[in-house]
Amino acid sequence: MFYLKYPLPILAGDVIHFLLVLAAADVQLLPAIRHEIAVAAEIQLRVPASRVVEAFRHIETLKRCEEVPAVGRFSLLPVEADLQGKADRKPLLEAARRYQAHGGQNALFRALVDRSDQLRQVAPELAAFLVDYPNSGLAVDDQFLYWSTERMGPTSVGVVTHAVVYQVPGTRVTVIATKQAYASRHVDASLGITLLTDQPGGATLRYINRTVVGKLPGFLRPLVERRVLSTTRRKLDELRLRLEQPALVEVTAR
């Protein structure tokens, strides 16, 4: 998620300050169509893919920060208690239940998947799963819905995200996908894809996020894109330390 005074895309996949903020990264903007913001990063970690996946599963701790003051996982069958303390529980609960029952695909999201070349090349079956959910029979390694409150300038946005972990059969690649199931305002569709490849000494992480913003005036786009890049780089150190510090302590103790 990026935060500006002008409402910016919720990078559901969001979880940009988890998936990008892991090490000094090569972060760049990608070509994008109108109203779409696309960003990519590649980094080499000193921790295995399993540690990244485990941290991701603890999304309540990982994602919460000043700009995201409230985060929580839904139960397997979402219930009101999952949103304890939330003032606007009903829209988020209804959105989660509706998504579980009927999915949330639309033409905009399908277009994001179609433009996600790496996903379609590495795991076309997962690409189909995200589009067809809940009508796909693909056995994924883990999946859950989580809700969050995102501060975007003077407004707050309620978000429901579908998170999926998938080990690509016969490879060393694990894919973490985040699909926006619902946003109360500003964002029409969002897809985040993280490709984790285990290597000696750590995992290589490749990340792409594509988000369609409902109203993004053309004259603001350069400002938004510059801020997206600078905010991503500013966030790098905090999550790199979060994931790599235990590994550094372990190495020092040997």
Average pLDDT, integer, range 137-149? 96
Identify which of 105, 88, 226, 102 has the alpha carbon closest to the alpha carbon of residue 157: 88
Task: Give residue-wise pLDDT tens across range 170-179.
Answer: 999 999 999 9
**CA distances from residue 110 to 12, 68, 215, 239 in whole angstroms, order as listed:** 15, 27, 19, 30
Instruction: Please list, residue by residue across 59-82, b when 16 or more beta carbons sit within 10 angstroms of its beta carbon and e when fewer do.
Output: beebbeeeebebbbbbeeebeeeb
Report yes or no: 191 and 15 within 8 Å, Cβ to Cβ.
no
Identify which of 35, 37, 9 has the alpha carbon closest to the alpha carbon of residue 27: 37
DSSP tag of 66: S
Identify which of 56, 32, 77, 38 has the alpha carbon closest to the alpha carbon of residue 210: 38
Report yes or no: 171 and 153 within 8 Å, Cβ to Cβ.
no
Report the top-level CATH class of 16-253: alpha beta
The ranges assigned to domains in the chain are 16-253
Task: Give residue-wise pLDDT tens across range 195-242.
Answer: 999 999 999 888 888 988 877 667 777 877 777 676 666 665 666 677
pLDDT bucket at 20, cuts 50 / 70 / 90: very low
Backbone angles phi, psi at 101, to 5 degrees: -80, -40
pTM: 0.84
Identify which of 181, 182, 228 has the alpha carbon closest to the alpha carbon of residue 36: 228
pLDDT bucket at 248, cuts 50 / 70 / 90: very low
